């Protein structure tokens, strides 16, 4: 049987700190292949080599992965500051219209971490460059030292709204998640519904109001331990079920 084809949004990086390359963390690929049951293909964040229409025609769904560079604040009407760090305008220019186009036709899309922030900006929302500097917020960044297991360890609760799609998927209103982000949603975009919050009020899960297809994003990294974590697994499984819907 033909497997659904999922485009995994890649990131630009440099091999040996000099040779330009495109890639994605292996755990994204494993989650799509093993838990969603789809064929993973990395899409380069190079918007000049294909159109949004070509991507929509070719793929059954998309995964908007995490990434170090932050969305350029000009895409939400603010000026860049030192706190914003560095950028990847090519990725911004690819993903923002792609998210909108997928949502419009009901093509299944899942956003993770930077992907979550991209969903909000695509729908007209804004971001804080550094949430740990806000009063009453905890530090959501990853520990600077330690093994991957320590950096991706479960760090804080997310309280899920009653009757939200996330409650249906997780089967509970309270989940434990990892946390490796410096930015966070300031103002939710038009139609962006915040379905889950950390205890300090930081938005952690979102859906799009009246969306006709699977269109969900989370601020954490469910791709870590996706085949065993009791929150990650149902999320990627549900994404896979939506990829296989006859209507997709």
One residue of 140, 192, 203, 215 binding Mn ion per CB under 5 A: 140
Q: Which is nearer to Mn ion, 107 or 221 (CB)?
A: 221
How far apart are CB 8 and Mn ion at their closest, in Å? 22
| Nearest-angstrom CA–CA distance, 197 and 212 | 24
Q: Which is nearer to Mn ion, 73 or 203 (CB)?
A: 203
Compute the chain's Rg from CA coordinates. Answer: 17
Q: Which is nearer to Mn ion, 114 or 140 (CB)?
A: 140
* Among 116, 102, 101, 103, CA closest to 70: 116
How far apart are CB 42 and Mn ion at their closest, in Å? 26
| Nearest-angstrom CA–CA distance, 44 and 39 | 16
Is residue 179 within the footprint of Mn ion (CB under 5 A)?
A: yes
Q: Which is nearer to Mn ion, 72 or 140 (CB)?
A: 140
How far apart are CB 138 and Mn ion at their closest, in Å? 8
Is residue 221 within the footprint of Mn ion (CB under 5 A)?
A: no
Residues 241, 244, 245, 248, CA torsion sign: positive
Q: Which residues pair with 40 in a beta bridge?
A: 6
How far apart are CB 35 and Mn ion at their closest, in Å? 21
How far apart are CB 169 and Mn ion at their closest, in Å? 18
How far apart are CB 118 and Mn ion at their closest, in Å? 16
- 241-247 own/partner pairs: CB under 8 Å, 24+ apart: 242/61, 242/108, 242/213, 242/214, 243/4, 243/6, 243/36, 243/38, 243/60, 243/61, 243/108, 244/4, 244/37, 247/106
Q: Of 35-43, 110-118, 159-167, 172-180, which segment contacts Mn ion by CB under 5 A?
A: 172-180
How far apart are CB 220 and Mn ion at their closest, in Å? 6
Q: Of 81-89, 91-99, 178-186, 238-246, which segment contacts Mn ion by CB under 5 A?
A: 178-186
Q: Of 28-36, 132-140, 209-217, 225-233, which segment contacts Mn ion by CB under 5 A?
A: 132-140
Q: Of 24-32, 75-83, 90-98, 135-143, which segment contacts Mn ion by CB under 5 A?
A: 135-143
Encoding tokens for residue 248? 């997709």
Q: Are 132 and 139 in contact (CB under 8 A)?
A: yes
| Nearest-angstrom CA–CA distance, 45 and 95 | 8
Encoding tokens for residue 150? 């320590």
Which residue in the block uniquely carries the two structure tokens 């994605």?
24
Q: Of 94-102, 107-115, 120-128, 175-183, which segment contacts Mn ion by CB under 5 A?
A: 175-183
Is residue 72 within the footprint of Mn ion (CB under 5 A)?
A: no
Interface residues with Mn ion (CB under 5 A) are 140, 179
């Amino acid at each position: 049987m033909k497997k659904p084809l999922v485009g995994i949004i890649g990131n630009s990086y440099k091999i040996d700190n000099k040779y330009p390359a495109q890639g994605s963390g292996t755990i994204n690929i494993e989650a799509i292949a093993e838990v969603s049951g789809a064929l993973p293909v990395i899409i380069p964040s190079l918007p000049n080599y294909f159109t949004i229409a070509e991507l929509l025609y070719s793929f059954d769904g998309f995964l908007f992965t995490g990434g170090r560079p932050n969305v350029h604040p000009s895409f939400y009407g603010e000026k860049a500051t030192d706190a914003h760090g560095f950028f990847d305008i090519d990725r911004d220019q690819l993903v923002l219209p792609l998210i909108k186009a997928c949502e419009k036709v009901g093509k299944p899309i899942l956003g993770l971490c930077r992907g979550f922030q991209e969903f909000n900006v695509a729908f007209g929302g804004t971001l804080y460059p550094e949430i740990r500097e806000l009063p009453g917020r905890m530090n959501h960044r990853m520990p600077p030292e330690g093994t991957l297991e320590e950096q991706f360890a479960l760090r804080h609760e997310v309280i899920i709204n009653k009757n939200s799609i996330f409650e249906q998927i997780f089967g509970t209103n309270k989940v434990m998640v990892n946390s490796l982000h410096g930015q966070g949603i300031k103002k939710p975009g038009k139609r962006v519904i915040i379905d889950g919050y950390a205890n300090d009020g930081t938005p952690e899960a979102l859906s799009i109001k009246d969306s006709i297809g699977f269109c969900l994003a989370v601020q954490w990294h469910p791709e870590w331990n996706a085949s065993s974590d009791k929150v990650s697994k149902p999320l990627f499984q549900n994404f896979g079920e939506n990829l296989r819907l006859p209507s997709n």
